Amino acid sequence: KSPIFGPEEVNSVEGNSVSITCYYPPTSVNRHTRKYWCRQGARGGCITLISSEGYVSSKYAGRANLTNFPENGTFVVNIAQLSQDDSGRYKCGLGINSRGLSFDVSLEVSQGPGLLNDTKVYTVDLGRTVTINCPFKTENAQKRKSLYKQIGLYPVLVIDSSGYVNPNYTGRIRLDIQGTGQLLFSVVINQLRLSDAGQYLCQAGDDSNSNKKNADLQVLKPEPELVYEDLRGSVTFHCALGPEVANVAKFLCRQSSGENCDVVVNTLGKRAPAFEGRILLNPQDKDGSFSVVITGLRKEDAGRYLCGAHSDGQLQEGSPIQAWQLFVNEESTIPRSPTVVKGVAGGSVAVLCPYNRKESKSIKYWCLWEGAQNGRCPLLVDSEGWVKAQYEGRLSLLEEPGNGTFTVILNQLTSRDAGFYWCLTNGDTLWRTTVEIKIIEGEPNLKVPGNVTAVLGETLKVPCHFPCKFSSYEKYWCKWNNTGCQALPSQDEGPSKAFVNCDENSRLVSLTLNLVTRADEGWYWCGVKQGHFYGETAAVYVAVEERKAAGSRDVSLAKADAAPDEKVLDSGFREIENKAIQDPRHHHHHH
């Protein structure tokens, strides 16, 4: 599929000019290669009319130019003094005409409206309101006022001052007669439809002295704005329909076949399942404008999107709308990163978040996507050292591995942590990525005691047991704080009895705190990593208190004789270790 993108249809009127923008992936080869605009012939082939190498065909002499904007990945073709002969099928492309790196554009140039003299032209956007003004003379002040629409050869009555309203206009039209001083009546039509376009005639009086005025109403469909984004990136649609619909429900929909437009998200709480976890609707401003962000773009997201306002929260005839045509470039610079990360209850996950490596200084964030609120995403942690209170001790954002990726670690997982999370920065908004955390059946691989109490001035040793499969990994202990986790010295010790069915390589790594002080209180993490990539982590809270008893303290996981039965180990975990803490004599006796 060609990565070149442009407008599918361009419409204009004789004598006017058009400007056509074509997009390409801004690789250095593409930025420097030939750009062209050619006209498709009946027998295939495409005849160049203008190119970036300076060629201009005689048909375009003096009325067209082609400009490349390499930093944006676009080039623009301007054509002036259009005639109906310019209508036809064209291509904009890169390289050689026959190479296939191109996009098809159809240009339709219509004849200007052949209007009666004295016709006022009203040009209004679809869904908006028009006011047609009709002057009259004093002698017709008391007579019937009416508005007709020319349909075929005959004028058809639309509305009059006696109260008649044509059924096609019910509920969206009114006739106002101005005060005595002004000899003017006006007809206001709301929620304009494409079918309302045409020639109108307004009239005051019905005899030969009547006053008449011709009006030509043109209802414009919004030209879609072209949006060119990368696969796996994100897109933002800014929708501003004006203050008059500030209090009407808003929607974003995607056009499927024909006229159908399937709601992607609306302010009434509806959201299409395909966008679960990767869409945010930013609440409306006072003027009724709002924006929608979609991340993790997929091939199938490409297409035409409309935003609009209607009390039903979906597209209806006469909704004011704004349109976009989204193209998803598959030659993406955004790296693949896992879209689902699995963890077990009590265990941990490490999430890799890509960002634009040109922006290493940007602030990194991680937020929790909340579906119920139409996708709010409250922040949980940032790289400036802020962590949401409920996540103290169990969440950390690390700038490693760096160079385009950072890591977020969440441990002490519970089923409530399942859901969608977003990685973002305060820099390039195209690099927002979405990851879903799933909680699956299983046991954490690292085993640490629950809570531990240390005694002031004494030595504390905390074990962390890891299975044989981690023997080649680097092991570490660190002290958690809101800016990260500061590494501490630890010893890798001999075989651990905490694991069953495991060879003698099952080991433990211990944290030793000598001469405990008040400052040692807090969360400690035991974890494994390979190079800059983090694996599992386990967290333990160490409380510090004064104690009369003397001697060093050692916290063990469980009695050795409980080891063969793993279930006992886990269910008796807290109980055993609490006993050990309450009664040091019992504990030492055991050793």
Q: Quick: pLDDT tens for 307-321.
A: 998 888 888 887 888
R_g over Cα of the chain: 35
Q: What is the mean pLDDT of residues 124-131?
A: 88
The identity of residue 344, as a single letter, is V
| Cβ pair 22, 6 in contact under 8 A | yes
CA torsion through residues 154, 158, 162, 164, sign: positive
Main-chain phi, psi angles of 84, to 5 degrees: -65, -20
- Alpha-helix residue ranges (DSSP H) falling in 45-152: none
Please state, in angstroms and rounded to a whole number, the distance separating the CA atoms of residues 111 and 92. Answer: 25
Q: Tokens 């060093």 sit at which residue?
A: 552
Q: Is the pTM of this model over 0.85?
A: no
Question: How close are the terminal C-alpha atoms of the chain, in Å?
Answer: 71
Residue % of the chain over a pLDDT of 70: 87
pLDDT at 425: 87
The identity of residue 94, as a single letter, is L
pLDDT at 563: 33
* Residue (of 276, 320, 583, 289) closest to 453 by Cα position: 583
Any idea what DSSP says for residue 376? B
As separate numbers, helices (DSSP H) first and strands (DSSP E) second, the chain gives 4, 41
Report the mean per-residue pLDDT for the chain. 83
Q: What is the mean pLDDT of residues 228-255?
A: 89
pLDDT at 448: 84
- The per-residue b/e assignment along 141-172, b for 16 or more CB within 10 angstroms, e otherwise, is eebebbbbbeeeeebeebbbeeeebeeebeeb
Candidate from 122-126, 256-260, 492-496 with smallest mean pLDDT: 492-496
pLDDT at 69: 93
Please state, in angstroms and rounded to a whole number, the distance separating the CA atoms of residues 264 and 336. Answer: 25
pLDDT range class, residue 580, cuts 50, 70, 90:
very low
| Cβ pair 81, 15 in contact under 8 A | yes
Residue 108: HSE in the Cβ half-sphere, 13 Å Cα cutoff:
6
Cross-strand pairs, 420: 436
pLDDT of 504 > 60? The answer is no
Q: In what order do the strands lie in the sheet with 290-294?
A: 235-239, 290-294, 279-282
Q: pLDDT tens digit string along 43-82?
A: 888 999 999 988 999 999 999 999 999 988 999 999 999 9
Find the angle CA(74)-CA(76)-CA(79) to the nearest 5 degrees: 165
Strand pairing report for 533-545 and 451-455: parallel
pLDDT at 77: 96
pLDDT of 506 > 80? The answer is no
Q: pLDDT tens digit string along 277-291?
A: 898 888 777 788 888
Residue % of the chain over a pLDDT of 90: 33
* Residue (of 139, 131, 168, 128) closest to 151 by Cα position: 168
| Cβ pair 321, 128 in contact under 8 A | no
Candidate from 36-50, 212-226, 264-278, 373-387 with smallest mean pLDDT: 373-387
Q: pLDDT tens digit string along 466-491?
A: 877 777 788 888 889 888 888 876 66
pLDDT at 553: 55
Which two three-digit tokens encode residue 580?
């050990």
| Listed ranges 152-161, 513-522, 562-571; the one with the highest mean pLDDT | 152-161
pLDDT at 555: 57
Q: pLDDT tens digit string along 333-355?
A: 888 888 899 999 989 999 998 88
* Residue (of 359, 339, 333, 346) closest to 448 by Cα position: 346
Please state, in angstroms and rounded to a whole number, the distance separating the CA atoms of residues 13 and 491. Answer: 81
Residue 475, helix vs strand vs coil:
strand
Q: pLDDT tens digit string along 410-468?
A: 999 999 999 999 998 887 777 788 999 999 998 888 888 887 887 888 888 888 888 77
H-run or E-run covering 569: helix 566-571
Q: Which has the higher per-residue pLDDT, 414 or 498?
A: 414
DSSP 526-553: EEEEETTEEEEEEEEEEEEE--S--S-E
Q: What is the mean pLDDT of residues 350-378?
A: 84
